[in-house]
Amino acid sequence: MEFASLFNFSIQRPCEALFWICAFLLVQNSEGSSSDSNYLIGLGSYDITGPAADVNMMGYANMEQTASGVHFRLRARTFIVAEPQGERVVFVNLDACMASQLVTIKVLQRLKARYGDLYTEKNVAISGIHTHAGPGGYLQYIIYIVTSLGFVRQSFDVLVNGIENSIIQAHENLRPGSIFINKGKLLDAGVNRSPSAYLNNPAAERRKYKYNVDKEMTLLKFVDLEWGPIGSFSWFATHGTSMSRTNSLISGDNKGAAARFMEDWFEKKGGIGSGFDISVDDRIPRRVSNIIPNLFTNHHELLELAASFQRPSGTSATRILSSSRRVRGALTNADKPQFVSAFCQSNCGDVSPNVLGAFCVDTGLPCDFNHSTCDGKNELCYGRGPGYPDEFESTRIIGKRQFRKAVDLFNNASEQLKGKVDYRHSYVDFSKLEVTLERGGTTQVVQTCPAAMGYSFAAGTTDGPGAFDFKQGDDKGNPFWRLIRNFLKKPKKEQIDCQHPKPILLDTGEMTKPYDWAPSILPIQILRVGQLIILGVPGEFSTMAGRQLRDAVKTVLTDGGKSELSGDIHVVIAGLTNSYSQYVTTFEEYQVQRYEGASTLYGPHTLSAYIQEFKKLARALVDGQAVAAGPQPPDLLDKQLSLLPSVVMDTTPHSVKFGDVKSDVPKNSTFKRGDMVTVTFWSACPRNDLLTEGTFALVEILHDKKLWVPAYDDDDFCLRFKWSRPFKLSSRSHATIEWRIPKTASAGVYRITHFGAAKRLFGSIHHFTGSSSAFCVM
């Protein structure tokens, strides 16, 4: 391809010619990026942070775990890859516990209204990172919204809006570019939390692998023809459970942290189009030290400057003020693409980030190996992360380990993706699917079952133990809970036999009042970009289940060397994609009935059913044949019920304004790097306005002795926004902002600012802001 046509550009002046030649050579010589473009690539990112108050967190099913602030914000990150005159695929990575069938349905409806048939269920994949620290209530089946008191429209809407906007951004950013792939081992970011179940797999199968969890990270590096590297998407299996079941701050957990670290790292190293050397050091970089030079060395001068600023009272603000003051505002980089980095989930079913192991909280001894109990009690057995006992530190460490491996893979990516962009998608009814098994030269036809959950489901895991007298590995049940079960729905003998050896606790697949409790129709999907194959699965596959699925699909795709994909293809599993149906274990793991087996909904042959149906998609992909759409999943939006009370009104004491400081920094205070700065404001319920693409909390640094410049916001790992009421039904509330001063912070004068929105008696919303007194950092 000729240079001029490559850029669709006519050069008329020598200086312009020199600029574009240098830009072209920069792209050509970027690390692992010396290649002609062969795709159109576009990336997008949008805020999906849900209600930071009152709403139950999704993941642990702990009714006492309700949101009350923000650790850092959640985002939807998207890539689109298209052949210039051919097909295209969309992959969306959500900082959410999982994808939702209802969310997917509504996103696809919006895309159809905007783009026609360009983006459909066939070529759009929406995948969750499995954080257990995001607001729930956005799935449509009852079993997944019981603890959130039903459907939460705000949680649902922010996801649909955010996904749509991230796809719109990626679509509008489509430009010529290339994609590079790299893989490498990450050894210290996940352990098997159900090793006794893994050991039940055949020894011959286990001997194929060195570890009992997958240690490989697969990374895509996106390189724009003009701008150079613009993003990365990586897949690695580890649960989003570094944050515990008692955490109440919205957080992307370890994968969300890794994404924030990598995006900030790239910006720190010069950003898109800089040509800076890209390396990684031990510190997670922040940009403020580049924006504001370290001009202050005299402590007395700093104190005098800080004292010259009077603390402002709370004041009215516009909705847009919060967005315009963000550190990473959209307007900041309007002249160039935004670097987008996503850390996607894979077959994480039995993989825990709590890598120190599981111990009894009362004795400090290791938990029972087979049942994960302590003296027979599951609720005393907890996994420990590398930062134990600090869950925030564990999240940082596991996030940092993924981030550092991703940087290494990013810098050394040299294999270019080439070839077709293609896809296959089908809906399958897993509640009554005939599955043909071939074992030892014989053929046997078995069947999946309507969804059901076993007793060990209620025992939880070492990442988040359950309650009562449940324990993992229970294949019998007990009379008391059987009585409770039968009151809700007594399973038929056929169902009991089909699910054996699972003792059924909840027969969710046959519970339909007031509407469906569990899914039966699920989407399965294959996306292809050159030699990369992405398997979109609507659940959490165990390590061995994921390996077997990948191997089966790869065998079909390579077709004994006859397929054009017979070379070195890369198959990754994208877990929790498009819908959610809990776990998938191997047949042998299912027999043990630990948590993952008890949560494998469709019986012992669930994995075999997935393998059978994915092989059909893979064969159709190789042969260039279409596949049947399958039965459509229901749209249950109109049937949703919600028991979550709405916000009635917000108030403050007499003569106190929203945004006024309740507890300030000490007068004439000076802090050191590593110190914690805490300020509390009179506030209002964060559900009044999610401040999407804005911030509830801001740290500002004084520039040129007069201008307050945003330095850190509630999307920074070092800043926490905590919201609270004096008592449950109080109309008064407080916002406490905590800033752990980073080692990279510049010396200077700072203040902490809060943004919020209050609801008046008759429903109108009043936006406000307030700031602390100024203080020094040395």
Closest to 650 measured CA to CA, from 720, 737, 729: 729
**Is pLDDT at 276 greater than 80 in this prediction?**
no
Per-residue model confidence (pLDDT) at position 15: 41
Tally of CB atoms within 10 A around 444: 11
Closest to 81 measured CA to CA, from 96, 69, 92, 97: 92
φ, ψ of residue 408 to 5 degrees: the values are: -60, -45
Helix (H) / strand (E) element for 663: namely: strand 661-663
Per-residue model confidence (pLDDT) at position 3: 27
What average pLDDT does the segment 426-431 reach? 98
**Is pLDDT at 758 greater than 90 in this prediction?**
yes
What average pLDDT does the segment 538-562 reach? 93
What average pLDDT does the segment 257-275 reach? 84
- What tokens appear for 15 in the block? 């200086």
The model's pLDDT over 190-220, given as tens digits with 9 standing for 90+, comes to 999 999 999 999 999 999 999 999 999 999 9
Q: Which of the four pLDDT bands, split at 50, 70 and 90, describes residue 613?
A: very high
**Is pLDDT at 145 greater than 70 in this prediction?**
yes
Per-residue model confidence (pLDDT) at position 35: 52
What sign does the dihedral 99-104-105-106 (CA atoms) show? positive
Amino acid at 654: H
What average pLDDT does the segment 603-613 reach? 98
Q: What is the DSSP string of 8-41?
A: T----SHHHHHHHHHHHHHHHHSTT--S---EEE
Tally of CB atoms within 10 A around 323: 18
Question: In 3-state terms, what secondary structure has residue 466?
Answer: coil
Distance, in Å, from the CA atom of 557 to the CA atom of 517, rounded to the nearest integer, reads 36
Question: In 3-state terms, what secondary structure has residue 249?
Answer: coil
Per-residue model confidence (pLDDT) at position 655: 95
Helix/strand/coil percent split, the chain, to 5: 25, 25, 45
Per-residue model confidence (pLDDT) at position 375: 95
Per-residue model confidence (pLDDT) at position 21: 40
Per-residue model confidence (pLDDT) at position 762: 84
Distance, in Å, from the CA atom of 615 to the CA atom of 622, rounded to the nearest integer, reads 10
> How distant, in Å, are the alpha carbons of 222, 269, 413 from that of 178?
6, 21, 12
Distance, in Å, from the CA atom of 655 to the CA atom of 304, rounded to the nearest integer, reads 30
Amino acid at 453: M
- What tokens appear for 707 in the block? 């201008």
**Is pLDDT at 558 greater than 80 in this prediction?**
yes
Q: What is the pLDDT of the chain when averaged over all its residues?
A: 92
Per-residue model confidence (pLDDT) at position 31: 42
Query: Is-contact 436 580, C-beta < 8 A?
Result: no
Query: Is-contact 40 170, C-beta < 8 A?
Result: no
H-helix segments, 292-343: 299-307, 319-324
Q: With pLDDT > 70 as the criterion, what percentage of the chain qualifies?
A: 91
Tell me which of 721 and 287 has the higher pLDDT.
721
Tally of CB atoms within 10 A around 416: 19
Per-residue model confidence (pLDDT) at position 297: 57
Per-residue model confidence (pLDDT) at position 467: 84
**Is pLDDT at 293 greater than 70 in this prediction?**
no
Question: In 3-state terms, what secondary structure has residue 677?
Answer: strand
Catalytic residue (one of 33, 352, 426, 771): 352
What average pLDDT does the segment 740-764 reach? 95
The model's pLDDT over 309-329, given as tens digits with 9 standing for 90+, comes to 889 999 999 999 999 999 987
Query: Of the ranges 73-82, 147-156, 473-482, 493-502, which one carries the lowest mean pLDDT score?
Result: 473-482
- What tokens appear for 137 in the block? 């209530």
Contacts with 644 (C-beta within 8 Å, 6 or more apart), sequence order: 54, 55, 137, 148, 149, 150, 152
Task: Give bridge partners of residue 593 from the DSSP assignment.
Answer: none
Q: Which of the four pLDDT bands, split at 50, 70 and 90, describes residue 273?
A: low
Distance, in Å, from the CA atom of 422 to the CA atom of 732, rounded to the nearest integer, reads 54
The model's pLDDT over 221-249, given as tens digits with 9 standing for 90+, comes to 999 999 999 999 999 999 999 999 999 99
Query: Is-contact 443 436, C-beta < 8 A?
Result: yes
Query: Is-contact 551 111, C-beta < 8 A?
Result: no
Query: Is-contact 330 693, C-beta < 8 A?
Result: yes
Per-residue model confidence (pLDDT) at position 7: 29
State yes or no: is 352 an active-site residue.
yes
Closest to 237 measured CA to CA, from 261, 259, 254: 254
